[in-house]
Structure 1
Amino acid sequence: MKQENTFDVIIVGGSYAGLSAGMALGRSLRKVLIIDNEKPCNIQTPHSHNFLTQDGKTPKEISTLAKEQVKKYDTVEFYNGLAIEGKKTENGFEITTKRGEIFKAKKLIFATGIVDEVPNIKGFWECWGISLIHCPYCHGYEFKTKKTGIIANGERGFHIASLVNNLTDNLTILTRGKSDFTEEQTRKLMQNNINIIETEIDEIQHQNGNIESLILSDNHELKFEAVYGAFPFHQHSDIPKSLGCEMTEMGHIKTDLFQKTNVSGLYVCGDNSSPMRSVANAVYTGNFAGAMVNAELTQENF
Structure 2
Amino acid sequence: MKKIGVLTSGGDSPGMNAAIRAVVRKAIFHGLEVYGIYHGYAGLISGKIEKLELGSVGDIIHRGGTMLYTARCEEFKTLEGQKKGIEQLKKHGIEGLVVIGGDGSYRGAKKLTEHGFPCVGVPGTIDNDIPGTDFTVGFDTALNTVIDAIDKIRDTATSHERTYVIEVMGRHAGDIALWSGLAGGAESILIPEADFEMDDIIARLKRGHERGKKHSIIIVAEGVGSGVEIGKKIQEMTNFETRVSVLGHIQRGGSPTAFDRVLASRLGAFAVELLLNNQGGRCVGIQNNQLVHHDMLEILDQKHTIEQKMYQLSKELSI
More strand by share: 1
Same fold by TM-score, threshold 0.5 exceeded?
no
Scaled to the shorter chain, the TM-score interval is 0.3 to 0.5
